[in-house]
Amino acid sequence: STWKLLGSVVYAHSKELITAWYIGFLVLIFSSFLVYLVEK
């Protein structure tokens, strides 16, 4: 089924996905921190 295929793809790339989410999260925090510093 489609869900099985999707699950196997997500499982195969889970490390990359987690890394991407982590980096994106850090960038988001960093940029909002910079905006906070600039607007202060």
Give the DSSP per-residue string, 7-29: HHHHHHTHHHHHHHHHHHHHHHH
pLDDT digits (tens, 9 = 90+) for 1-40: 899 998 888 888 888 889 999 999 999 999 999 999 999 8
Secondary-structure breakdown of the chain: helix, strand, coil percentages, each rounded to the nearest 5: 90, 0, 10
Answer for the pair 32, 24: CB distance below 8 angstroms, yes or no. no
pLDDT of residue 29: 98
pLDDT of residue 11: 83
Q: Look up the pTM and report it.
A: 0.57
Query: CA 10, CA 8: separation in Å to the nearest integer?
Result: 5
Phi, psi of 30 (to 5 degrees): -65, -45
